[in-house]
Chain A
């Protein structure tokens, strides 16, 4: 039960620890489950609705588990100018899911991020923390195919 460990580490904490706690839980479990949010509310003595209000405000927090391969696609200005919208379209078509969702087999999930900060190598995607620079539709198809084959 990782949540308990995280909360123990944040003993006697105040409201300002809310976001770090949620971040740590998401880091450990991949997403924020309903139970986790309720548990954090009890710990910090904040109504669950308030916590949910904070968590939904920030882009970082997810309420559904991610896929085995979590694909973050950068949609910053430089990536957009160099064609990241086409890359996103291809990705959505290929995996048959919309951004923000997870495939039914639990293999892939897509997340759109504002800017990864590697604008010099746009367009950029990041799969499970590993960056791929200068991607184009062909490259993305290849990457997804390779990952699919590894798991078939």
Chain B
């Protein structure tokens, strides 16, 4: 560690993390840490996984090349994701005395011009996302503020407060912004039972999807006597379509560490694990760096700041099994076994990891804790609805204008999130449904768009909160195909321990595949089986729901039941008319050759794998429907656009 870092560390610990009241005269020094008072230009690049996917690494290279060529001294900071994925890559520049200004959809070519102009206090010709409001600095003229942007205006950012704004792996900045003080105050002044009480009174419920009162769950473990207790943070975000946990860890890992510290103190755990997906290498990297920094500052380890509390965090990488989001399966996985659930009770809070009391919380749940401790549980309880408190982060994806992360108070309607914040459906297409809760969830249709977002209302509408992934679908999405997609996912992710889930989901998938295919031969039993399957589909769903061992199986039929409830006509169209209006189920397509366009070049007939195209040379060809398998090879082969899809 260099001398400056040592000095900074000492300064921050003395003024912000010691038992003395916070010194009010250090605002100026803190502004430096918070990058509010700078002497050289600061350049920020949104470099979360989504930023990198849209080319942030190239932007970073271009920035560095430019600075080197022009011999300009500037600080380049890689931030996490601010949550507006559709505008990435983002490049923010802050020059001394002026507000930080953010550019969207930046390309390598534009980088030099943008920095050049900004350094000369001019506005470049590049799309501006907005400027950040700051009390001490001059604002840019005719540049809108970011917090007034349609996407951010209605949001209430508690968990995502720092994401995309701060340097995620800079503990000094986190502490200067008030971080880790609530954690140390808790350790010094509160008892574990008070902590559990406050969290219970705040009304925080599990953000992983279950919605169980967090404080209540903690009390189970706090009340169990044991020589060793564990806290596990579930960062195995296996739910396809949700990415808020990744964004929090990539954008603000210290918030999670602090939340874990408080939670562990509340239940009396001295050891904890973060079980994180191996598919998130960047999040793992940043979390490990943040953990090192926290150890360096003495915030983790033995006898933390002289309070006598011991606490440390280990990172365990998940190996890619969706079922490991189920707590008992997750425990088995950490123990080095196959990730299979076991019946409960005993609940993990009584007998969990290595047989010891264990509490498992989701990333978003834990990231809420520091805020509750800092502002008091009453402030948190004042946000949201009667039974669902606080905010919820939603991951918006699919056919929507602004994709990304939206954090709103509970009780906001889905319509607001979809149309006011996320800008409505892409390309002015017609809205069909929004899928919420991943493979265990269901669809919300036009009829239910005005329901407030809270655990109970969403369940009433036939879906579930899940981890908060909202996948938006328009008229070009086939709901039967979506049901089939989820069934396929569940079927391959089922651990195989209990029969209803292992065999039942397989049968359901077969039935759905039967519906979305043209029967190859109507003379055998296949048609009979298809009809039989269709008749049994709902009954089979009920049986799987009632008899499966864990949540994965119990919720597996939800996507099918939900699409059946709202889009029965689509199923009927597939079954009776053998048609897919959205044109997604490729095997139901019917091909017809336009006689006027066909030149008789025979290319399609040669390409056809089932010999379904007949016709002589230089005469129009025809498709024999009984032989056609709807593979589409002929369409790709035809150079004259002569083959139509009906």
Interface residues of A (CB under 8 A from B): 14-20, 22-23, 53-54, 57-61, 75-78, 80-82, 113-122, 124, 129, 131-133
Contact of B336 (CB < 8 Å), options: A17, A77, A114, A115: A17
B485 in contact (CB, < 8 A): yes
Given A115-B239, A121-B54, A121-B85 in contact, is the A77-B435 Cβ separation under 8 Å? yes
B398 touches A60 (CB 8 A): no
Tally chain B residues at the interface, Cβ within 8 Å.
55
Q: Which residues of A contact B328 (CB under 8 A)?
A: none
**Stretch touching chain A among B296-304, B315-323, B524-532, B593-601:** B315-323
Given A116-B49, A119-B243, A120-B86 in contact, is the A54-B278 Cβ separation under 8 Å? no
B52 in contact (CB, < 8 A): yes
Cβ-closest chain A residue relative to B52: A131
B404 in contact (CB, < 8 A): yes
Q: Which residues of B contact A19 (CB under 8 A)?
A: 316-317, 319, 333, 336
Q: Which residues of A contact B243 (CB under 8 A)?
A: 115, 117-120
Cβ-closest chain B residue relative to A132: B53
Main secondary structure of the interface of B (DSSP, over half): mixed
| B423 CB to nearest A CB, Å | 13
Name which of A23, A61, A77 has the most chain B CB atoms within 10 A of its CB.
Answer: A77
B246 in contact (CB, < 8 A): yes
B279 in contact (CB, < 8 A): yes
Number of A-B contacts (CB under 8 A): 146
Given A77-B240, A124-B53 in contact, is the A117-B246 Cβ separation under 8 Å? yes
| B622 CB to nearest A CB, Å | 26
How long is the Cα–Cα vector from A112 to B280 in the complex, in angstroms?
A: 15
How long is the Cα–Cα vector from A20 to B265 in the complex, in angstroms?
A: 27
B322 touches A114 (CB 8 A): yes
Q: Which residues of B contact A131 (CB under 8 A)?
A: 49, 52-53
Q: Which residues of B contact A129 (CB under 8 A)?
A: 281
| A9 CB to nearest B CB, Å | 15
Apart from A57-B339, A121-B85: 9 A-B pairs, beta carbons within 8 A: A16-B336, A19-B319, A53-B338, A77-B486, A113-B279, A117-B246, A119-B469, A121-B53, A122-B397
Cβ-closest chain B residue relative to A125: B53
Q: Which residues of A contact B336 (CB under 8 A)?
A: 14-19, 54
B279 touches A118 (CB 8 A): no
Shortest 10 CB-CB contacts between residues of A and residues of B: A120-B85, A76-B240, A58-B319, A78-B397, A120-B403, A131-B53, A59-B320, A119-B397, A18-B336, A115-B240
Interface hits, B322-365 → A, CB 8 Å: 322, 333-339
How long is the Cα–Cα vector from A122 to B52 in the complex, in angstroms?
A: 13
Q: Which residues of B contact A15 (CB under 8 A)?
A: 335-337
B395 touches A119 (CB 8 A): yes
Cβ-closest chain A residue relative to B321: A58
Q: Which residues of B contact A54 (CB under 8 A)?
A: 336-338
Given A19-B336, A121-B403 in contact, is the A133-B316 Cβ separation under 8 Å? no
Q: Which residues of A contact B482 (CB under 8 A)?
A: 77, 80-81
B280 touches A117 (CB 8 A): yes
B232 in contact (CB, < 8 A): no
How long is the Cα–Cα vector from A15 to B397 in the complex, in angstroms?
A: 39
Q: Which residues of A contact B334 (CB under 8 A)?
A: 16
Given A23-B317, A23-B319, A121-B403 in contact, is the A115-B485 Cβ separation under 8 Å? no
| B474 CB to nearest A CB, Å | 9
Interface hits, B208-260 → A, CB 8 Å: 237-243, 246
A61 touches B319 (CB 8 A): yes
Contact of A116 (CB < 8 Å), options: B279, B337, B399: B279
| B581 CB to nearest A CB, Å | 16
A119 touches B53 (CB 8 A): no
B321 touches A82 (CB 8 A): no
| B2 CB to nearest A CB, Å | 29
B196 in contact (CB, < 8 A): no
Q: Which residues of B contact A16 (CB under 8 A)?
A: 334-336
How long is the Cα–Cα vector from A133 to B403 in the complex, in angstroms?
A: 13
Contact of B50 (CB < 8 Å), options: A17, A58, A118: A118
B53 touches A114 (CB 8 A): no
B86 touches A81 (CB 8 A): no
A114 touches B404 (CB 8 A): no
A81 touches B53 (CB 8 A): no
How long is the Cα–Cα vector from A76 to B396 in the complex, in angstroms?
A: 13
B473 in contact (CB, < 8 A): yes
Q: Which residues of A contact B280 (CB under 8 A)?
A: 117
How long is the Cα–Cα vector from A117 to B404 in the complex, in angstroms?
A: 11
| A85 CB to nearest B CB, Å | 8
B438 in contact (CB, < 8 A): yes
How long is the Cα–Cα vector from A113 to B397 in the complex, in angstroms?
A: 18
Cβ-closest chain B residue relative to A119: B397
Cβ-closest chain B residue relative to A126: B53
B458 in contact (CB, < 8 A): no
| B565 CB to nearest A CB, Å | 19
Cβ-closest chain B residue relative to A13: B336
| A104 CB to nearest B CB, Å | 22
How long is the Cα–Cα vector from A129 to B246 in the complex, in angstroms?
A: 16
A57 touches B398 (CB 8 A): no
Given A60-B278, A61-B319, A114-B322 in contact, is the A120-B240 Cβ separation under 8 Å? no
B279 touches A81 (CB 8 A): no
Q: Which residues of B contact A77 (CB under 8 A)?
A: 240-241, 397-398, 435, 438, 469, 471, 482, 485-486
